[in-house]
Amino acid sequence: MTSSSLAIRIASLPKAELHLHLEGSIQPATVCALAARHGILIAEEEVRRRYAYRGFPEFIEAFKWVTSFLREPQDYALIAHDLAEHLLTQGVVYAEVTLSVGVMLLRRQLPEANFEALLRATEPFESRGLRFNWIFDAARQFGPEAALAVVDAARQCASKSIVAFGIGGDELSVPTKEFRPVYDCAAEIGLHRLIHAGEIGGPEKIREGIELLGAERIGHGIASINDPELMDLLAEREIPLEICPGSNLKTGALARQLRCADPRIEEHPLPEFLRHGIPVVLSTDDPAMFHTTLCEEYANAARMGLREEELIRVVEMGFERAFLPAGGRHGA
């Protein structure tokens, strides 16, 4: 099969997205529209300039900047609608979307009101073949007390569509062990447990997430390439890695883990993980901010040397590793 016909084949398959930040999906034109709602004039060129990074700290600053324009429930409804339309173009039929509830609380917003607006905006897309579930996310650098407030917000929202709790942000900040009581509380209210680990941190952050917090999937996890025993553990326990190649390249995470100043996407360790028996799901992370789409990430995986049957297997794992009841899973 030629590369073009393979791309068409993959594009035609129903797909799942499991590592996708709502706030990172805001396209430049929408940033301008959001800012204008609040009396701020911004040119698209300014957004594009801020959506270019020379490392992870610059990305975090851009994320903080763009989320500053999310101030009311209707703002969240707008970006959720735009994301849904975008996902349909990628053949996505199921998405677990990460919502930065920790940032909402920091800005003294009401998560319940914002979340209700998101549900109203995305509900019509069910009839068009796209189902959403939600992951409530805390920022690691805000500390365990703030993270516990995110779990409490999930409890208050009391929606079956909130399927998991996770922690993102700066994984080099607060020690993992301080979040153990938070994850225990999340498990008590029936939420699955996720964590961003091994993106810019070392393999020990992944191991801590598994052993101390009971993480069921690892966001990124590419540092495991530097720890063969950890790779064995991930394979034995069938703990998936949520791999976002374009993100890893643009934040400098890939360069950091490979200890290489200017790596190519072809050097990404995704094929090694997959062939080692580690479950892998492919995602975009922050698609607008990293100038990517899910189909482009599958093209990246093909450039890494994944064969057709391996690419199709990754598509399948997106559904198998989703937090869905068995009867609710779509086939690829």
Catalytic residues: 199
Residue with tokens 């996310």: 137
Report d(CA 219, CA 24) in Å as an integer: 15
130: its two tokens: 């796209």
Is residue 117 helix, strand or coil?
Answer: helix
Q: Are 83 and 47 in contact (CB under 8 A)?
A: no
Is residue 14 helix, strand or coil?
Answer: coil
Report d(CA 129, CA 234) in Å as an integer: 33
Q: Are 274 and 302 in contact (CB under 8 A)?
A: no
Report d(CA 88, CA 293) in Å as an integer: 11
User: Could you tell me where the beta strands, DSSP code E, fall in 100-216?
Assistant: 131-139, 162-168, 192-197
Report d(CA 63, CA 250) in Å as an integer: 14
